Amino acid sequence: MNEIRVVDARMGRGKTSAAEAYMTACGDQRRFLYITPYLTEVERICVSCDFEQPDSDRHAKLTDLKAMMHHGQNIASTHSLFYLLDDEALELVRQKRYTLIIDESIETVRRVPITSKDFDILVSNFATLDDDGFLHWNDPEYDGKFGGYKDMADSGSLYVLDRSLLCVMKPEMLMAFEDVIMMTYLFGGQYQKAYLDFFGFPYRVCGIDNTDGFRFTDEPDAPPPVDYKSLVLVVDEDKLNAVGDYRYALSKTWYDRRGAENEDIRKLRNNLNTFFRRRCSVGTDKQLWTSFKSDRYKIEGSTGRYHDAYLQPTARATNEYRKKTAVAYLINRFIDPNVSKFFEQRGVSIDEDEFALGEMLQFIWRSAIRDGHQIILYIPSKRMRTLLLKWMDKNSEGGDADDR
């Protein structure tokens, strides 16, 4: 494969438009697989670029995808289908010399939940650990409660780190393609970057030129200034924000150590109520909030208030919240220590603040700001709020605003 191009450019810079222009300009000279989290974007690319998309249900889609590859068709699909590519599909990718274009970052490494007892049963009875740390399933006919782990082991992606399990995307998933273009933002803080460094993929970071249409450039992006502070009104009230003054307040560990009736949780719950009912003059249909998924019940309380306004913090494949104008981000993001330890095995590190900022921006941009509408934002974590305010200041200057 050739050097990977990473188009690291801010939201609204025209990455998708540049990709459409590039694919159209290539005509019949290249074959493309374009993947995006959004089904609506899949459909739009199919119309604008005359691509095809797999139909059917989830499992039949892979069969459809391979049939299209066999005929050398240009294809648009979702991230979820990309993760299902098997050896047969990757061989077709190599034979037909496909180019992969990735809209938004893909999930290269994630922790796989498992109890300590089930871990012992799994490793002792069902799978064999190789010298590189990957598990291989012993019984090809197995069909039991560990079936999900078997699927990952059979795909060569189930990794053991101490007594934890990680799902690590096979490098062959990218290596099979002749060219790969990744369209993303804040690449320096992503697992995706650490993954490329870990496995030694060659890549270069480039940007967008929109002076005459949209096109990819060979240089890092240099965007014009944007006054985000006129669009994002951040709540600056000591009483509402005091619960998040401590650096690790509202982190996953912070939540785990506090029950639903803990004083800090009660304060946070009351603050959310104050924000939505007294600081925002909008109806419930305009409200959006998040906490860690496993802790949302602590914030909702026994009444289940604001249940319908909740969206999990890692949500990607949705445009359904673009009318929300009152947004509460009740978490403080840090890198999963197991994932960090995995990358550190080869001296690869991740910028933790850039990671946190990127994850927060992804969530905020699910709201009405994606269409240029003003939003009011409640971020009680002092760390997260400071990261956002610094980012807005830098982007008001233009040029290489992210100090790459």
Which pLDDT score is estimated for 58?
59
CA 366 and chain centroid, separation: 12
Sign of CA dihedral 131, 135, 141, 142: positive
Strand order across the 326-329 sheet: 232-234, 375-378, 326-329, 287-290
Does the domain at 228-395 match CATH 2.40.160? Answer given as no
Report H helices in 224-381. 238-241, 252-256, 263-274, 296-300, 337-344, 352-364
CA distances from 148 to 112, 116, 152, 163 (A): 10, 17, 7, 18
Q: How far apart are CA 244 and CA 6, in angstroms?
A: 35
CB atoms within 10 A of CB 120: 12
Beta carbons within 8 Å of 19's beta carbon, 6+ residues apart: 34, 101, 103, 181, 183, 216
* Fold matches, 4-108+173-216 and 228-395: yes
Element (H, E) at 181: strand 179-184
Alpha carbon distance 351, 359 (integer Å): 12
Judge whether 385 and 379 are in contact, CB under 8 Å. yes
- Give the global pTM: 0.91
**Three-class secondary structure of residue 377 per DSSP:** strand
- φ and ψ at residue 51, rounded to 5 degrees: -95, 170
Chain position carrying tokens 């299902």:
84
* Pairing assessment for the beta strands 208-209 and 215-216 based on DSSP bridges: antiparallel
- 179 three-class SS: strand
Q: How far apart are CA 267 and CA 51, in angstroms?
A: 51
List the structure tokens of 365.
């941009």
Looking only at Cα atoms, what is the longest distance across the chain?
63
Q: Which helix (H) or strand (E) holds 82?
A: helix 79-82
Distance CA 254, CA 263 (A): 13
| Secondary element (H or E) of residue 80 | helix 79-82
The identity of residue 51, as a single letter, is: F
Using only the alpha carbons of the chain, give its radius of gyration.
Answer: 22
Output the tens digit of pLDDT for each of the chain's 404 residues.
899 999 999 998 999 999 999 999 998 889 999 999 888 889 999 999 999 999 766 568 888 999 999 999 999 999 988 988 889 999 999 999 999 999 999 999 999 999 999 999 999 999 999 988 999 999 988 888 899 899 889 888 999 999 999 999 999 999 999 999 999 999 999 999 999 999 999 999 999 998 888 999 999 999 999 999 999 999 999 999 999 999 999 999 999 999 999 999 999 999 999 999 999 888 889 999 999 999 999 998 777 789 999 999 987 656 788 899 999 999 999 999 999 999 999 999 999 999 999 999 999 999 999 899 999 999 999 999 999 999 999 988 755 534 43
HSE of 28, CA atoms in CB hemisphere, 13 A: 0
- Please answer whether residues 190 and 348 qualify as being in contact, where contact means their C-beta atoms are separated by less than 8 angstroms: no
pLDDT value of residue 213: 87
Tracing tokens 């009740």 back to the chain, one arrives at 330
Per-residue pLDDT at 59: 62
* CB proximity list for 223: less than 8 A, separation 6 or greater: 9, 10, 13, 207, 395, 398, 399, 401
Residue 135 CA to residue 126 CA, distance in Å, equals 9
Task: Report domain extents, the chain.
Answer: 4-108+173-216, 113-157, 228-395
Cβ-proximal residues to 291 (8 Å cutoff; 6+ apart), any chain: 255, 298, 299, 310, 313, 330, 331
- CA nearest to 26, candidates 49, 8, 3: 49
The CATH homologous superfamily for domain 4-108+173-216 is P-loop containing nucleotide triphosphate hydrolases (3.40.50.300)
